[in-house]
Chains A and B, each alone.
Chain A
C-alpha cells in the first residue's frame, strides 16, 4: 500500500478487503439545545487490518477520542454521528440496533481507557469483574472462565494470577491495573481493541511495559488495535499506521515511519517541530558559590493515623544534596512518588523538612526569622502544573499578577497594577487581557499568567513543577520558548521538575535523576543523555520514545537510545534501593562518586569483593 502520499478521501480497496474496521466519511457533530450545530469530526476515513495497530494522533480538540467513542457509540450527550459509516464485519456500527451493539461491545470489540484508577469497579474482586464478560457473552461457567483468566493474567505478566483474582483493584498500582484491564479485555479475544490514551497516566517505564505487552498479545491474537494518543513518540514506536487529526479534519494518514520521515502536511511538520529537541548547551560548567545549596535534605510525611495513635511518618526525600547556580536550569526527573515535587515544595517553603538544610545566597532559610523568610519569599517563586487551578477564578488577571508585589515595600496600588500590566505584556498577553478572568483564557495563556505572577517581583530562581506537562505540544513549545527568553533577559535559575525527558533534554543545563526520594545520578545534560551510568537512568532513557530530526533532512525518525551500561567505579556497585528490580538491595548509605567532570552517580562499596 502506498500509504504516505495516498489521497485521503477513499481508503484503498486492498486495505478494505481484509479490514476488521473500516471508517468511511465519518462526520460527528455537536447539536446544542439552542439549535446551533458544530462539527467535531469531518470526513474521517481509515481502516485497520487484523494484528495491525493504527493510531489517531492529535492535540486536544482534534476529535480523536470522539472517533474512538463513536465506534462503540459511547458519545457524550448532544454529540452524534451525522454522516458516513463505521463498517465492522458487514455491519454499520453507526446505525446498528442497540441490542446488537451490546452483543459486540466488550465481546468482539474491547476497550481500554486512560484512567486505570476508575475503569475497574473498586467494590468487586478482580476475578468477578474479569469473568463477568466471559460468562455473559460466552456463557462459560465460573470455573472455566476463571481458568481462562488465570492464563491471560499470566500472559500480561502478573506475578501471582490466582491471588490477583481474589484481590480488589485498590491493591494494585496504576500500571498493574492497566495490565489487568488489558487482560480482562483480551480475555474475550476481541477482533478489535480500542485503546484511548491507555498509558498517559503512567510513568515512562511502566508505560513501556504495558505497551510492549499490549503489542505482543494483540499481534499474537491477530487483534486490530485503534490507539488514541497525543504522544507522537509513543505512536512512532508502536503503531504501524497513523492518522494525524487537527480540529476534526484528517491532516495526513499513512505508514507511521513514512509520515514522520516525510511529513507532507504543514500541520504534521508543525507538530513534529514542536517536539522538544536537544538545544545548544547554554550554560558554562558551574563554578563558584551556588545560589541555593541543599544539604542532607530529609522530608517526612505523616501517615494517616487515628488521632489517639502515635504519629507515624514515612520518608519521601532522603538526604538529598543539590546545588542550584545562578542563571542555570537544573532538571529533577523521576517517576510519580519519587519525591521530586517535594524537593521543590520544600524549596519554596510549602513543606517543612525534617532534617538537613537549605541555604540561599549563603544564608540558612530553614531556620531563620520571619524577616529573612519574607525576604527569601520575594527571591523564590513557583510555577505550577495545572493551569486550571493555579489562578484564582474570581480575580482579574492584573490583580492576580499584582498580588505578587504585595510584599514589595514602597509600591502604591497604581504602581503595582502598572507593573503587573507590563509583566503581562512581557509574557505575551498584551491588549485587553488585564481585566479578563482566568476562565476566558486557554491553557497556554493561563500558564503565561502564572509565569507573570511568579516573576513580577524579580525572583532569583523559579521552581517549575511540571509547568508544561498539561499543555499540547505546540503550546508547550511556545511556553518553553517564553521561559527561556525570560531566563536570558532576567537571569533567574530554574529548578525544572518533570517526568518528561524530552523537555529535560531541551531545557536543562544539568539533570538530577531521583528515585524513591534519593538522587541516583546527577550531571550535565550531555553527560546524562549521552553517558548515563546508573542502570535506572538508562532504563528511564530507553523507556522514553523520542523523535529526532534526521540530520540535514526535513524529516524525523524514532531514536533508539544507544548508550550501553557502564561498569561502576572500582570497588563499588551501583546503589540499589528498588530501582534495579531483581537485584540485591544495597545496604547502608550511598556515596556520590564522580564518573566524569561534574557527573556523579550513587554507589556503595562492593561488599562481595572485600572477602
Chain B
C-alpha cells in the first residue's frame, strides 16, 4: 500500500514539505545559528544578507533562528493536540458507538454541544482559564477537536459493530471490551489517520492564529503566529518579517493538506477505483 501511496504526486510533494518542517523543528531544538531570544539592539531590522539569511527583527534577533525555533514550538503543539484529541476522541467515539444506550446518548449530547461552539472562541475561553502557555494552547485545541474525532469514530464503530466478525467474537465468549478493542476499533483506523492529518493542519493554523492574537506561547519565545503578529508594524520597512513566517505557515499547511488528501484517496475504495 505504501508504495502505491507514493506514486501520487500530491503524496510526494506533501511528504517533502512535511519532512522539511520536521527537520526545521529538530534544528529549532538542537541548533540555531543565533540565539532566538536574546536581543541585539545594534542589529535592528537588518535586511536579509549572508550573515542573517532572513534578516533580523525589531529587537535585532535573527529571523531564521526564530523561524526554526518557532517550528519546534508549532510542531510540538500541533502534534500533542492531535495525539490528545485523537486518543480521547477515539475512545469516546468507540465506547459510545459500540455500547450505545442512554449513557452514550448523554455523552454525545455534550460532544454535540462542544461541536456547536466556534472553536477559536472556545479556545479563547480555555486559555483564559489555563493561561497563555503551550500547555494551555494544547488543552484548548484538543478540547475543540475531540468532538470531530468522536463523531467520525462513533459513526464507523456503529457500522462495524454489526459486522459478522464482531458477532463471531461475541459468540466465542470474548468480553465486549476486548471485542471492541480487537475487532471494531482497528478497522476504523483508516478514517482516523486521515482525520489526524487534517487535524494536524488545523492545529498548526489555530496555534498561529492564537499566537497572532497574543494568546499563544508567551514572548519572548518565538512562534510563527507571534512573529507574524509582531511584523505588522514594520511591513513597509521590513517586509521579510511578515514574508518569512507567512510562507512557513502556508507551505507547512500545504504539505499537510496534500499528504492528507493522498491518504484519503488511498483509503477510500471509491476514489481508488477511479484512479
Contacts and interface: CB of A to CB of B under 8 A. Distances in A.
A374 B170 CA distance: 11
Given A377-B173, A384-B164, A404-B172, A392 B105 contact: no
A394 B187 contact: yes
A350 B171 contact: yes
A392 B187 contact: yes
Interface string B165-193: 10111111110000000010011000000
A200 interface: no
A307 B187 contact: no
Nearest to A76: B273
A385 B173 CA distance: 20
A interface secondary structure, majority: loop
A406 B183 contact: no
A302 to B, nearest CB: 11
Nearest to A393: B187
B163 interface: yes
Given A392-B187, A407-B173, A307 B102 contact: yes
Contacts of B274: 77
A77 B168 CA distance: 37
A440 B245 CA distance: 49
A378 B173 contact: yes
A390 B174 CA distance: 16
A382 interface: yes
Interface in A346-367: 348-350
Interface string A376-418: 0110111011100111111000001001101100000000000
B170 A386 contact: no
A605 B93 CA distance: 55
A403 B102 contact: no
Nearest to A376: B173
Contacts of B102: 307
Given A392-B183, A392-B187, A403 B163 contact: no
A403 B172 contact: yes
B171 A382 contact: yes
Contact of B168 (A307, A384, A406): A384
A66 B58 CA distance: 72
Interface string B192-219: 0000000000000000000000000000
Contact of B171 (A307, A381, A391): A381
Contacts of A177: none
Interface residues of B, number: 18
Contact of B165 (A385, A391, A454): A391
Interface string B82-116: 00000000000000000000100100000000000
Contacts of B174: 403, 406-407
Contacts of B275: 33
Contacts of B165: 389-392, 400
Nearest to A391: B165
A453 interface: yes
A453 to B, nearest CB: 7
A389 B173 contact: no
Nearest to B186: A394
A403 B178 CA distance: 12
A392 B163 CA distance: 9
A492 to B, nearest CB: 15
Interface in B12-52: none
Nearest to A463: B171
Nearest to B173: A377
Interface magnitude class on chain A: 20 to 34
A453 B173 contact: no
Nearest to B167: A350
Given A386-B164, A389-B163, A406-B174, A307 B105 contact: yes
Contacts, number: 54
B171 A377 contact: yes
A349 B163 contact: no
Contacts of A377: 171-173
Given A377-B173, A389-B163, A392-B183, A382 B105 contact: no
A400 B164 CA distance: 13
Given A307-B105, A390-B164, A391-B165, A349 B186 contact: no
Nearest to A33: B275
A273 to B, nearest CB: 30
A389 B274 CA distance: 24
B180 to A, nearest CB: 13
A348 B102 CA distance: 26
A390 B167 CA distance: 8
Highest count of chain A CB atoms <10 Å: which of B105, B163, B168, B186: B168
A385 B167 CA distance: 12
Contacts of B172: 377, 403-404, 406-407, 457
Given A374-B173, A389-B163, A382 B168 contact: yes
Nearest to A390: B164
Given A386-B164, A390-B164, A392-B165, A349 B171 contact: yes
A392 B165 CA distance: 6
A244 to B, nearest CB: 30
Most chain B CB neighbours (cut-off 10 Å) among A378, A389, A450: A389
A307 B172 CA distance: 32
A373 B172 CA distance: 11
Contacts of B171: 348-350, 377, 380-382
Nearest to B172: A404
A377 B168 CA distance: 11
Nearest to B174: A406
Interface string A39-54: 0000000000000000
Contacts of A380: 171
A360 to B, nearest CB: 14
A390 B168 contact: yes
Nearest to B183: A392
Given A307-B102, A394-B187, A350 B164 contact: no
A407 B174 CA distance: 8
A391 B169 CA distance: 10
A457 B172 CA distance: 9
Contacts of B186: 394
Contacts of A391: 165
Interface in B150-173: 163-165, 167-173
A366 B155 CA distance: 32
A394 B184 CA distance: 11
A379 to B, nearest CB: 11
Nearest to B165: A392
Nearest to A384: B164
A403 B169 contact: yes
A348 B172 CA distance: 9
Interface of B: 102, 105, 163-165, 167-174, 183, 186-187, 274-275
24 contacts: A77-B274, A307-B105, A350-B167, A350-B171, A373-B173, A374-B173, A377-B171, A378-B173, A384-B167, A384-B168, A385-B164, A389-B164, A389-B165, A390-B163, A391-B165, A393-B187, A394-B186, A403-B169, A403-B172, A403-B174, A406-B173, A407-B172, A407-B173, A450-B168
Given A377-B171, A382-B167, A400-B165, 4 more contacts: A382-B171, A390-B165, A406-B173, A454-B168
Q: Top 3 nearest A-B pairs by Cβ distance?
A: A377-B173, A390-B164, A384-B164
Interface of A: 33, 77, 307, 348-350, 373-374, 377-378, 380-382, 384-386, 389-394, 400, 403-404, 406-407, 450, 453-454, 457
